[in-house]
Structure 1
Amino acid sequence: MRSRHTKLLFGAILTGASVAPDVLANTAELQQERPLESQSDQTHLGHNTGGLEEIIVTAHPGARSRYDVLQGTSVLTGEDLEQAVRATIGDSLDRLPGLSQTAFGQGASRPVIRGLSGDRLRVLINDLGSFDASTTSPDHAVALDLSAAKRIEVVRGPATLIYGANAIAGVVNVTDNRVPRALPEDGKADGFIRSSYGTNADEVVNSGALDLNITGGWMAHLDGFYRNHRDFTAPGFLRSEQERLDDPLPEGEDEPFGRANNSGIESWGGTGGLSYVGDNGFIGASISHLDTVYGIPVALEGEEEEGGEEEEEGVRIDIEQLRVDVIGEWTKPFAIFEKASLRFGYGDYDQAELEGDEIGTLFLNEEWEARLDLTQKNRNGWSGTSGVHLRSRNFEAIGLEAFVPPNDTMQWGLYSYQSIETGAWHVDAGVRLDRQTVESVTRSIDRSFTGISLSAGVSYDLGAGYLIGANGFRTERAPNADELFSDGPHLASFTFERGDETLGEETAKGLELSLKKNSGPLTFILNGFYTAYDDFIFERFTGETEDNLPVAQFSATQARFYGLEMEADYLLWQSGERTIKLNAVFDVVEAKNRSDGTPLPRIPPLSVQLGADYQSHWFDIHISGEYAAKQNDIATFELPTDDYFVLGTTVSIHPFDGRDITLMIEGRNLTDSDIRYHTSFLKDLVPAPGRSIRFTLRAGF
C-alpha cells in the first residue's frame, strides 16, 4: 500500500537534550527489511487509515511506532514528501508544526525550529552534515536538493546526544538512496523519473534516479536533477507598508511592484554510487556534484555606480560542491551488540558572490564527518545505542564580505543512550561528552571547550490509546568561529558583526511534557516545552554604526523559550478505500531575554492550520488553510509583521491501476496573500511568492 499521512506529525515527547539514536540511525535497518520507497509504497493500491501506529520511527532497537517513542519527530515520505518539496529545505518544511524558515528569496532558506536556527540546528544528509556555509549567513543556501530524497525526519528540540552540541535546536535528516541499502523488489532495478512545471516563476524541474542490481548483491545508483526558476512575482509592493513609510524612496523613483528582480535559480546535480548488499548488511560509497546559481532579490550593497545610476545586476551566488560518502552497516549480532553502523562524509565547497561578472566574496569550506554507532541487543526490555562522532571543518572567506577570518574547527564526541521498558512504563536516559577546538590562524587564537549533555525521560501508557510523558535535559554548546572571531560588514543581515573571543559555553536546561492519543477516529499530540538558557549567545545591537551599518555584537545573556504544539487528525468518514479526514496543527513559541525582559529577534508568531483530505483508489484531494498571526513582540530595530492567511490545495491522480504513475496538480497561495515571514531578514524588503499552480508527473519502475 502507498504510505499515507506521514505529513501529519504525531511526534511524541520532545526529548530535549536527547534524540534516541535509533530514531534516525536505525532507519536503515527498516530499509533493509523494506527498501526505501519500494514499489509497494508507491502504487495506488490503497491507503493506510490508522493513527500514530502507521509511522515507524524505530526509537529503540527494533521498529517502534511514534506512539511508543519519547522523541517528537516529523516524518515525510511518499506522496506527502512529493507535495512538500520546494526549491529549498526551509520552504519544504515550513508547514510542519513548530517550524518556520529563514526565507532569503527562492534560492536560500534554512529551517527554523521553535525560533532557533543557524548553528544551533543541523541539516543532515544520511546522518551527516551538508558540508556548506549555510550556517554562516541566511543568504547562503544549504548544499542540498530534495529531488532524490526518500524520507525526511525532523526532531524538534535539542538533539545533542546523537548529533552534537550544534543540534541544540533540533535536527533535519534527509535520507536518500545514493548508497543503495537493499536489493530491488523485483531483483533487477528500481527508479523513477519526474517532471514538474510551476506557473509563478516558470518553474521547471526534471529529475530521475536508478538503482540497478548488477550481479551477486552489487548495486549501482545514479540520480540527477535540473532546476530552473525565473524571477517570481508577488502580490502588490515588494517592500512592506511599514518599510515604505519609514524609508520612502527618493522622489521620482518607482516603488518595486510585483516581480522580484534577480530572484531566479538555476541548479543541477548528479550522484553515482556503488554498494554491496549481503545477508549481514551492506557497504558502499557515492560521489555527488552540485552546481547552483541564484539571485538575491534585494540590493544588499546599497551602492550606486558612478554617475548615480544603480547597478542593473544584483548579487548572484554561485555554489559548487563535490561530496563523497561512505555508508555501511553490519546487522549480524556480535558480543552484546545487535548492529554496527558506520557513516563517513567529505565535502569540498566553493561559494562565489558575484556582482556582475566580478567575484565580490569567495567562501571556501572543506569538511569531513564520521560516526560509528553500536546498537545493543534487547535484554529483557533494556536496549540502547552508544557511539563516537568526529567532525572537522576548515573555513575561509576572501573578499568584500569576509566578516570572519579563516578558521579551523575540530569536534569529537562520545555518547550512550539507554532505554528500559517494563509494563506500561518506559524510561530513557543518556549522556554525551563533547570536545571542540576553534582556531583562527591569522589572529593566533586557539579556544577549546568541553561540554557534557544529559537527558532523562519517562512515559506511561494510560491505556485506551492515551500516553503521557515528561523529559528533562541539560545541554552545553560551545561558541562557533563566527561568534568568536567576526569583525566586518555582513550585508545579508544588514549589520556590522563583531565577535567576542572571550565567550564561553551556553547551557540549556529544560522540560517537555506530552499527552498523546493514538486510537479511535480522533488521534492527537499535545506538547509543551520550556527551556532556560544561561549565557545564550546572540547579536546585540550596540547603537554604534560602522561602514554605514548598525554594529551587532555577539554577546551572552540569559534567555528563555517556551511554547505549545498541537496536532490532531480526525477520521470523519470511511467506506472501503474512500476516506475523509480532517486535520489541524497549532504552534506558538515565546522567547525572551531574561536579563531585561525584551523579546528576542525573529521569533515566529502563532500559527494555525486546518485541512481536509479525501482519499480514494483513483485520486486524492487535499485542501488546507494556514493563518499566521501578527507578530508584535519585537526586538530592538525590528519591525512588526502583519498577519496573513494562505490557502492551498492538491489533487493527486493515479490513472493506471497497479502502476506507479501519478499526476499531481497543486495550487499554492491561492489567495495570493502578502506573506512575510518574521523569521526572515528580508521580510520587509520582499515577500514570499504569490499564487502559483504546479503540475507534476512522476513515474516509478
Structure 2
Amino acid sequence: MSHPKILFLSVCLIGFHAAYAESVTNQNNNPIREQTLPEVIVRGKSNTALPFKRGHKASDVVVNGAAFKTRSATLGNALAEELGIHSNPFGGGASAPIIRGQEGARIKILQNGSDVVDMSAMSPDHAVAADTLLAQQVEVVRGTPTLLYSTASPAGVVNVVDKRIPTQMPKNKIEGEWAARLDSASKEKAINLGLTLGLGNHVAVRAEGLVRQSDNYRVPEVKLGETLKYLPDTHNKSRVGTLGISWVGDKGHLGVSYSRRRDHYGIPGHNHQLDNGSFHVFNTAKDLWQPERKYLYAYPHLMTDMDISNDFHDAHTGTAHAQNGKHSHDNPYGHQHDHSSQGPVIDMISKRYDVRGEWRQPFKGVDKLKMSLAWADYYHDEKDDGKAHFDHNTPQSRIEHIKWERERNKGRPNSFFGNKGFNSRLEVHHQPFKGLNGLLGVQYQTQKSYATRPAPNPNDCEVVRNENGNIEYTDDKKQKPRQRCNSFGEKEVSQRRPLVHNTNKQFGVFALEQFKWRNWTFEGAARWEKQSIPIQYDMAALESYTPPKAPDTAIPDLSTYRQKALSYSGTVLWDFHPDYRLSFTASHNERLPTPVELYYHGKHLATNSFEYGNRDLRKESSNNYELGLRYAGERWDAKISAYQNRFKNYIHNETIYREGNLYMRRYLQSQARFHGLEGELGFQINPNHKITVFGDVVRGKLFRLPDIYGPPITEEYECVDEWGDEDICTRMLGYEMVKRPDRNAARVPPARLGFRLNNQWNENWSSNLSYTHVFKQKRTSDSFYVKKKSEDDPTNVSGNSLDIIPIQEDATKGYHLLNAGVSYHKHAGKLDYTLTLQANNLLNQKIYSHTSYLPYVPQMGRNVQIGVNVNF
C-alpha cells in the first residue's frame, strides 16, 4: 500500500468526496428517484433477494455497491446509516446488523441468495464472512419475501450481492473495477480489484481480490490508567480472494466459484480476570429429591432447569474481581487494563465453493429454474496475549509463576471455533398467468459446528533455576529438582467443550405468489421447515462418570432435538395514486432454536461472561404487522413505516448473575413485544439540490418471564427407619419462587433524528452533509438474582429468606454525528472514475453504542477518508 502510485492518488484526492447518502445511486453517482427503484435493482442481477419488480415497500432498502466504498468494511457498521438498522460493533474487525431491535439468528444474512456460513450469529466478536467492499449491492428485504430464505426473519433479510459468478458476458471482452482508500482514524489501507474476462462467446471468468489493514482506531479519549487517544486491540487485517467461471447463454448461465478469506483482528475490552475462572452453575450430587447426575461433567449441555445450582455466586478466578468498580468514563472497563502490548486476537479463515445456475423458459409453463449449491468451511481461534493479572494480595512467588506461565502461553489458541456447512436451493418460477406470478422452492442445508477449549498439558513443565542459573531443589540432598508446570487450559472437564460437536440439519419448502389486479398487488408466502440436531456422544466418557447400572443415578436424555416450524405471510400494496403506494404486511413466523441457544456452556471471552444454553427451549413464534406509505412526487418524496412484533417464547440471553464485572447469562424464554416507527421526508430544492429529514425509534418489552427458583422448602417429620426405629426425616415441599418483573429488552437501539443535504453542483462535482442526533438510552433492561440469606442475618426470620440483588444494564448518553464530503466524477475514454473525500464524526464526539455487549467501549472518533473508485 506504500506504492508511489497510491501516494500520488492520496495527494490528488484532497478536496474530493462522494455523495452516497441516497440508498441507491446510478452509474453516474446521481440519486435515483424511488419510483424507478424496481427496474434498476433487478435488471441483470439474477441473485437478487427481491423476486418481483412490483413488490417493493417503503421499508425495503437497496444500497448500490459504490456507496460502500466510503463506508465501514464490516457489515453492521456499513448498514447502520439506513433506516431501522443499527450495528452491534466489536472493535475494528467485526460488526453485525441489528434490524428493528432484532439481532443474531433473527437476522438472516445471505450471500447471493444463499446462507453465509460463519459463526457471526453466535457472538458479536465473530466477523460476518461477507465483504461489503466487494459487493455489487446489498439488499435489506422485509415482509413476505423473507420466507424464501427463513421462517424467522420478520425484521429483515440481508443479501450481499457480488459478481463472483458472472451472469452475463462482459462488454468488450473485459470489464472491472478498482478501488483504494486511506483513512486518518485507523490508518486504514484498503484496496480491492475485480475483473471479468470474456473467453469466446459464452465463457466468462471473474477474479476478485481485497486487501485491508488498519491499526487501533483513534477516539476522543479513553482512560485506561492513563488517557489514551486510541482504543487498544481494534486493529484488523483482512485478505480475500475469489475466482469464478461461468457459461453464459441466451437462456441462462451456469457457474462455479471459489473464495478464500483470512482475518486477523483484536478483541477489545478483554478482562483477564476471566482467564482462570469458572462458574459452577449446576449440581451433580445426589440429594433427597434428585439422583446423582455426574454425566454433566462430560456433557454439561444436558443440564436442565432443575440441575441449576441455588448457590452459583462464587466465580473461581483467583482474583478480587468482585471488588472492581462499575464501568464509567473514568474507568471504562471496570478493572485495571494492561495496554502495554497487543491483547488477544482472532485468527479466522473461511473457504467457500459456490455453484449457481439459471435456466430461463426451459419448458412450457416454467419461466425459469434457479439452482444454487454452496460448501463452506469456517474456522477461527482466539489466541492468548500472554498478559498476566494479579492484585496486591497475590504473593510474590505466585506473581513470578503467573508471569512465567502467561509468557509461555503467548500466542497459543485458548479456544477453537468451527462450522462446516452445505446449502442447496432449487426454485421453480412459473410463467405469469392472468396477473399471477410466483415460485415454488426447496432448500436443504447442514451445518456442523463446535467450540472447544484446550485441557492443561501435564507434561508442560520445566526445572526452576535461580537468578544465577543454578537448579533449585526441593530437598537438601538435591535429588528432586524444583519444577513449575503450566496450567494453561481448562481444568474443569465441563468447560472444555463450550459448544458440543453437533450437526444442524434443516429441510424447507417454500412458496411465494404475487397477484396484480388494477392498482392492487397481493403477495402471499409460506415456508415449512423441519430441523434435527444429532450429537454423537462418547459413551465411554459418559460411563466413566455414570456407570450404566449404578443405583441412585439419573439417566441422561441423549435424544436428538427435532422440531418443525411453519411461517406464513401476506402483503397488500395499493397504488391509489401514481405517486403513492400504501402497503400492509401481516405474518406469523416461527423460529427454531439454534445449537448455540440450546447447547452452549462455558466462557465467552469477548463479552466477559459465562454463557449457558437451554436444551428445553421451545420454538419461538411471533405475529408481525407493518404499515407503510411511500410517496414520490416532483419536488417531495417520503416514506414511513410503522411495525409491531409480538413474540411468544421469545428466546433471549438473560443475565442471571453478576459478580464484579463478570456475568453469567443463560438463554431463557418469555413473551416480548417490539414496536417502532421509521421514516424520511425529502424535498428537491431544485434539480441539483435535495434535503432529507429522517428518523427512527424502536421499543422492546419483555413480560411473563419465568420465575426464579430459590432454595428448596423442606420440613421435618417423624418417620420409621429401615430397622423399624422412630426417626426424624426430611421431605421437600417445593421451592421458594421469585417472580421476575416485566422489563425492557436488553440492548434496544436508541432513537435517532437527523437530516442530510445532497448537492450536484455540475456534471462532475457533488457533495453531501448529514447530521444525526442519537438520543440517550435510559430504557435499560434491569434484572436481578437471588441468594439465600445467611443464618446469622438479622432479617432471616424463617431461615429460607432470600436476598434480591439487582443487575443493571448500563445506560448510554446521546451524541451528535456530523458527516460531510465531496466527490469528483469523470468519464475518461472507457474509464469511469470517482475521487472522494469523506469526513465522519466531524465533531469528534464520544460515541458509546447501547446495542453493544461492551457499551463502555468508545467508537471511532473524527475520521477523514480519501479514496478512488475506477470502473472500466
Alignment TM-score > 0.5, same fold: yes
Shift of 1:54: 3.8
Aligned counterpart in structure 2 of residue 197 of structure 1, from 165, 178, 182: 182
Aligned counterpart in structure 2 of residue 514 of structure 1, from 601, 604, 628: 628
Please give the per-residue CA displacement for 1:50-89, whole angstroms capped at 9, x wherever unaligned. Answer: 3332453559998625xx5347311111533333x31200
For 1:231-630, list aligned pairs within 5 A: 231-237=216-222, 254-302=225-273, 310=338, 312-356=341-385, 357-399=411-453, 402-442=497-537, 444-543=558-657, 549-574=662-687, 579-595=688-704, 596-615=741-760, 616-630=762-776
> C-alpha distance in 1, partners of 2:654/2:31?
50
Contact 2:644–2:675 (Cα < 8 Å) also in 1: yes
> C-alpha distance in 2, partners of 1:548/1:201?
28
Shift of 1:510: 1.6
Contact 1:61–1:383 (Cα < 8 Å) also in 2: no
How many residue pairs were aligned?
643
> C-alpha distance in 1, partners of 2:623/2:654?
22
1:76 aligns to 2:63 (yes or no) = yes
> C-alpha distance in 2, partners of 1:600/1:159?
27
Please give the per-residue CA displacement for 1:570-617, whole angstroms capped at 9, x wherever unaligned. Answer: 21112xxxx001112211110001324310000001111300111131
> C-alpha distance in 1, partners of 2:576/2:418?
54
Contact 1:114–1:156 (Cα < 8 Å) also in 2: no
Quick one: structure 1 residues 345 and 7, their matched pair in 2 at CA, closer, same or farther if it must change by over 3 Å?
A: farther
> Structure 1 vs Structure 2: percent identity of aligned residues?
27
TM-score, normalised on structure 2?
0.70
Contact 2:65–2:134 (Cα < 8 Å) also in 1: no
1:89 is matched with which residue? 75
> C-alpha distance in 1, partners of 2:675/2:265?
36
1:126 is matched with which residue? 112
Contact 1:7–1:75 (Cα < 8 Å) also in 2: no
> C-alpha distance in 2, partners of 1:410/1:517?
44
Contact 2:823–2:834 (Cα < 8 Å) also in 1: yes
1:660 aligns to 2:832 (yes or no) = yes
1:687 aligns to 2:828 (yes or no) = no
Quick one: structure 1 residues 606 and 529, their matched pair in 2 at CA, closer, same or farther if it must change by over 3 Å?
A: same
Please give the per-residue CA displacement for 1:489-547, whole angstroms capped at 9, x wherever unaligned. Answer: 222223221221111101000211112212221111111001100000112232376x9
Contact 1:267–1:293 (Cα < 8 Å) also in 2: yes
Shift of 1:569: 2.3
Aligned counterpart in structure 1 of residue 196 of structure 2, from 207, 211, 214: 211
Shift of 1:467: 2.1
What is the one-letter code of the residue matched to 1:344? L
Q: Going by fraction, where is strand more abundant, 1 or 2?
A: 1
> C-alpha distance in 2, partners of 1:235/1:643?
15
Shift of 1:566: 0.4
Query: Where does the alignment leave 5 or more consecutive residues of structure 1 unmatched?
Result: 11-36, 239-252
Contact 1:159–1:169 (Cα < 8 Å) also in 2: no
Quick one: structure 1 residues 544 and 627, their matched pair in 2 at CA, closer, same or farther if it must change by over 3 Å?
A: closer
Give 3-state SS (helix, strand or coil) of 1:169's partner. Answer: coil
> C-alpha distance in 2, partners of 1:71/1:392?
34
Quick one: structure 1 residues 229 and 212, their matched pair in 2 at CA, closer, same or farther if it must change by over 3 Å?
A: same
> C-alpha distance in 2, partners of 1:522/1:177?
35
Please give the per-residue CA displacement for 1:364-391, whole angstroms capped at 9, x wherever unaligned. Answer: 1101111111112111211111111111
> C-alpha distance in 2, partners of 1:530/1:273?
42
Contact 1:438–1:480 (Cα < 8 Å) also in 2: no
Contact 1:313–1:355 (Cα < 8 Å) also in 2: no
Quick one: structure 1 residues 592 and 48, their matched pair in 2 at CA, closer, same or farther if it must change by over 3 Å?
A: closer
> C-alpha distance in 2, partners of 1:49/1:428?
26
> C-alpha distance in 2, partners of 1:651/1:48?
15
Quick one: structure 1 residues 9 and 203, their matched pair in 2 at CA, closer, same or farther if it must change by over 3 Å?
A: closer
What is the one-letter code of the residue matched to 1:293? H
- Stretch of structure 1 that moved more, 110-119 or 72-81: 72-81
1:177 aligns to 2:163 (yes or no) = yes
Contact 1:300–1:315 (Cα < 8 Å) also in 2: no
Shift of 1:161: 1.3
Please give the per-residue CA displacement for 1:147-168, whole angstroms capped at 9, x wherever unaligned. Answer: 2211110124686511123534
Shift of 1:657: 5.1
Shift of 1:548: 8.1
What is the one-letter code of the residue matched to 2:213? N
> C-alpha distance in 1, partners of 2:63/2:375?
26
Shift of 1:302: 3.2
Larger radius of gyration: 2
Give 3-state SS (helix, strand or coil) of 1:457's partner. Answer: strand
Give 3-state SS (helix, strand or coil) of 1:654's partner. Answer: strand
1:631 is matched with which residue? 777
What is the one-letter code of the residue matched to 2:374? G
Contact 1:102–1:111 (Cα < 8 Å) also in 2: yes
2:205 is matched with which residue? 220
Quick one: structure 1 residues 135 and 309, their matched pair in 2 at CA, closer, same or farther if it must change by over 3 Å?
A: closer
Over the residues paired in the alignment, what is the CA RMSD in angstroms?
2.5
> C-alpha distance in 2, partners of 1:671/1:548?
31
2:822 is matched with which residue? 651
Query: Where does the alignment leave 5 or more consecutive residues of structure 2 unmatched?
Result: 1-17, 43-47, 277-317, 320-335, 386-410, 454-489, 491-495, 538-556, 705-740, 783-807
Give 3-state SS (helix, strand or coil) of 1:453's partner. Answer: strand
Contact 2:651–2:667 (Cα < 8 Å) also in 1: yes
Please give the per-residue CA displacement for 1:214-255, whole angstroms capped at 9, x wherever unaligned. Answer: 1131011111011010111101225xxxxxxxxxxxxxx714
> C-alpha distance in 2, partners of 1:371/1:523?
38
TM-score, normalised on structure 1?
0.87
> C-alpha distance in 2, partners of 1:266/1:79?
22
Quick one: structure 1 residues 61 and 374, their matched pair in 2 at CA, closer, same or farther if it must change by over 3 Å?
A: farther
Give 3-state SS (helix, strand or coil) of 2:569's partner. Answer: strand
2:867 is matched with which residue? 696
